[in-house]
Structure 1
């Protein structure tokens, strides 16, 4: 390619909006709620198949997952939106704020558990069982969450640095695959005993199914994610500035 041809090509610019925006505040608030609710839902025990899994995974025939999988993929979708529109620093801020809210939530449960119950309260033992099992689950979730979300955001912004505005679908799919793989593997490795996983087969089942399910959800809703990103880019005055 000659120097004249290179000069004729339009320069690819990388754009990000300022995080001092009401849109960013709303996304951040929803992101924190999704994280907190997902951690609580992860302690849900449900069984729709054979076996004796006492606490944690939701099992539907051969499929094993945790209750948090119902909502948690939304955290990665919101993470993608923040990383693409507002940049890595804004996504990092959301990740750390979400981490703080989740820790505060579980600390509150611990304090409430230690408070003396009313004389007619009959569920103290069940409450303690869920909270104490949640300790291991929250630890696993937080380590997996920090690793997965940071990888997801970092991969997306690095891919954007190479392609600029074009290639949005590739960025979203690529960052999702990396982030969800790390998140699911770390969570399963740390929380296995708390959610009833005791064999290698169950571990592999949990990881593969969890990873495929989360990625599938994000891929299915990706047209909506891309639409939201485009709308935000058009509505944020600072994005194209």
Structure 2
């Protein structure tokens, strides 16, 4: 006898064009966190005191950017790879537009009696190299994260959610960090090569650690959305190419 509280197991391809109650909200949260984490903290190196180690540097964006990976996990787990792919492309377009808008606004000549241009340029000025690194790292890392999670869901038959949320983050964040930090800061002023490598591995470890700590929250959100939407999407027969936006 079927449990009315249990979401139905459905193949992702059977939901083409379907509408979900909460998908738009999850997508909006993903894009908002992505944009804010790129505006605030992406280029700042902070430090934390570790017992027995001393002060250890880390990128300030680590505090909030990993939440986008958690939401990416939720998107793929609940709605399937194709809809997650669509959101990743939306996020990529949003970051590119944010960079363009920042450049235009900073370059506009300030009014003579407005004295904050220098500070405004420091805060919102976009370094093309960092923008390129951020977009490439985000795009590649998110697609790896979504692909690994969708494949692992098939391999595990939908069991042991924690293995695929953590496993996909290990892979996705590794790709993200390996692309972003060398591309953005290798040879840059104020960044030694040793510092780039140290921050890269620190970022990766902290992001994975964040994923592990947020696993209980991920379980709650995934469980709620699956019950609310009434489906449990498996990517059976899905075309995993990243170069598409159809669902």
- Whether TM exceeds 0.5 here: the answer is yes
1:223 to 200, 216, 225: 216
1:127 aligns with 2:120: yes
Greater Rg over alpha carbons, structure: 1
Alignment of 1:44-83 (within 5 A): 56-60=44-48, 62-83=55-76
1:232 aligns with 2:225: yes
Alignment of 1:196-207 (within 5 A): 198-207=191-200
Q: Pick closer, same or farther for the CA change 1:184–1:107 going to 2, 3 Å.
A: same
1:28 aligns with 2:16: no
- Counterpart for residue 141 of structure 2: 148
Contact 1:141 1:187 in 2 (8 A): yes
Report the Cα distance in structure 2 between the residues aligned to 1:136 and 1:208, rounded to whole angstroms.
20
Give, in angstroms, the shift of residue 193 of structure 1.
Answer: 5.1
1:185 aligns with 2:178: yes
Give the aligned CA root-mean-square deviation in angstroms: 2.4
Give unmatched runs, 5+ long, in structure 2.
1-8, 50-54, 234-247
Q: Pick closer, same or farther for the CA change 1:77–1:43 going to 2, 3 Å.
A: closer
Alignment of 1:109-124 (within 5 A): 109-124=102-117
Higher relative contact order (Cα pairs below 8 Å, separated by 6+ residues): 2
SS in 2 for 1:118: coil
Q: Pick closer, same or farther for the CA change 1:58–1:198 going to 2, 3 Å.
A: same
- Counterpart for residue 6 of structure 1: none
1:90 to 76, 83, 89: 83
Name whichever of 14-23 and 164-173 sits farther off: 14-23
Report the Cα distance in structure 1 between the residues aligned to 2:203 and 2:190, rounded to whole angstroms.
13
Give, in angstroms, the shift of residue 197 of structure 1.
Answer: 5.4
- Counterpart for residue 206 of structure 2: 213
Name whichever of 221-230 and 14-23 sits farther off: 14-23
SS in 2 for 1:22: coil
Give, in angstroms, the shift of residue 200 of structure 1.
Answer: 3.0
Give, in angstroms, the shift of residue 128 of structure 1.
Answer: 2.9
Q: Deviations over 1:181-223 (max 9, x none)?
A: 1111111011115975532321221011101111111100101
